[in-house]
Amino acid sequence: MTATTRTAAPDRVRSLPVLLATEDDAEDMGLLAPDDRLTCHVHGRWIHQCAASPLHVSPVTRHRWCRDCRAPLAVAVDELAVAVSMSCPRCGHGGSAATARLTTACRASLVAERAARYASAV
């Protein structure tokens, strides 16, 4: 019986469960900052799919939080344009370093999800 050779998927293409586990390990080992994760260990989803959840609002770190208005930022995800934006529904601003990092992670997770979907479709 001949062994079936499988072409290893490129490193960048990982399914959600695989990447979730990989990021959990990397985070535990101190190799990955929670802010840079493309997956969410609380919701078990891609970060752009659950960033709109109230759990991703933090007044302390200012993730999705407008300090001036004391209000959570609204999240807009455009999957086609691979665009993610977060802004305060009251003043239209409310950005912070933490929110910028979350936005960047959401964009990257959009790209990663698309790649994973494409890889599983072929």
Q: Is residue 43 part of the contact set for Zn ion (CB under 5 A)?
A: yes
Q: Name the one range near Zn ion by CB under 5 A: 5-13, 22-30, 69-77, 79-87.
A: 69-77
> 55 is written with which tokens?
């759990």
Q: Name the one range near Zn ion by CB under 5 A: 18-26, 28-36, 61-69, 98-106.
A: 61-69
Q: Please give the C-alpha separations between residue 96 and each of 10, 61, 63, 74, 99, in angstroms, as whole numbers.
A: 34, 9, 7, 14, 5
Nearest to Zn ion of 25, 68 (CB atom) = 68
Q: Name the one range near Zn ion by CB under 5 A: 13-21, 28-36, 85-93, 100-108.
A: 85-93
Identify the three-state secondary structure at position 46: strand
Identify the three-state secondary structure at position 75: strand
Q: Is residue 90 part of the contact set for Zn ion (CB under 5 A)?
A: yes
